[in-house]
Amino acid sequence: MNHFKDAAKTWDNDRTRQRNRAFANALAPIIAPFQQNLRLLDFGCGTGLLSEPFAADARELLGIDSTKEMLDQFDQRYENLDHARSFCVNLEEQPQALKGKEFDIVISAMAFHHLKNPLAVLDVLKSALSPSGKICILDLDQEDGSFHADPKAMGVHHFGFSVETLNSWARELALKLDHQLVHLIEKNERTYNVFLAVFSQ
């Protein structure tokens, strides 16, 4: 059962809009030098909230997600943008799906904690990166497992990621890592940190 199939209907709300706006603000200075020529990949794009501020000026936008219902809304959002496309694929099951493609910037918000093997997916994203490209992951800093109401039913495989884990991925894949905490999510009367991890070659 894919939790996001049902969640898609109500995914765009004040909470997710506000969160993605804050994420996009953190990404803006990294993306700015590429504008006009930008080939942008949004992995685990959902309905496309994160890429929205960058979409119009990009040369190409590809949204990848394994949930068709999320991508239906992505397609609706960008129906008037010829250079925006979606691709319904589970990148863990089909790592060859990006073969022959190249991107300047890969962005991903709140998707990596749903992956069984995030390091393997990071390696797949690296293989589709231009030499000066960057992979920008926004996700939960290591948490105590209380962020999701029902982690198992919601397809959660990781309770966020510590900076040590992200550093170990960078070492493993011979990538440079720039890590910072960029946002706070208030939920369950608690505060959860969100990091921005920028991987480059």
Min. distance of Cβ 48 from ligand SAM in angstroms? Answer: 8
* Neighbouring residues of 115: CB distance < 8 A, sequence distance ≥ 6: 92, 121, 157, 158
Q: Of 37 and 183, which CB lies nearer to ligand SAM in the complex structure?
A: 183
What is the footprint of ligand SAM within residues 4-33 (CB under 6 A)? Answer: 4, 16, 20
Q: Rounded to an integer, what distance in angstroms lies between the CA atom of residue 180 and that of residue 183? A: 9
Q: Of 87 and 168, which CB lies nearer to ligand SAM in the complex structure?
A: 87
Q: Give the number of residues in contact with ligand SAM, rule: CB under 6 A.
A: 21
Q: Rounded to an integer, what distance in angstroms lies between the CA atom of residue 58 and that of residue 71? A: 19
Q: What is the DSSP letter of 109?
A: E
Is 111 one of the binding residues for ligand SAM (CB under 6 A)? yes
Q: Which stretch binds ligand SAM (CB under 6 A): 60-68, 98-106, 165-173, 182-190?
A: 60-68
Min. distance of Cβ 140 from ligand SAM in angstroms? Answer: 10
Q: Which stretch binds ligand SAM (CB under 6 A): 72-80, 105-113, 164-172, 176-184?
A: 105-113
Is 122 one of the binding residues for ligand SAM (CB under 6 A)? no
Q: Of 24 and 175, which CB lies nearer to ligand SAM in the complex structure?
A: 24
Q: Of 36 and 199, which CB lies nearer to ligand SAM in the complex structure?
A: 199
Q: Rounded to an integer, what distance in angstroms lies between the CA atom of residue 122 and that of residue 178? A: 15
Q: Rounded to an integer, what distance in angstroms lies between the CA atom of residue 55 and that of residue 71? A: 15
Is 140 one of the binding residues for ligand SAM (CB under 6 A)? no
**Choice from 41, 61, 62, 66 touching ligand SAM (CB under 6 A):** 66
Is 49 one of the binding residues for ligand SAM (CB under 6 A)? yes
Contact residues for ligand SAM (CB under 6 A)? Answer: 4, 16, 20, 44-46, 49-50, 64-67, 70, 90-92, 109-111, 114-115
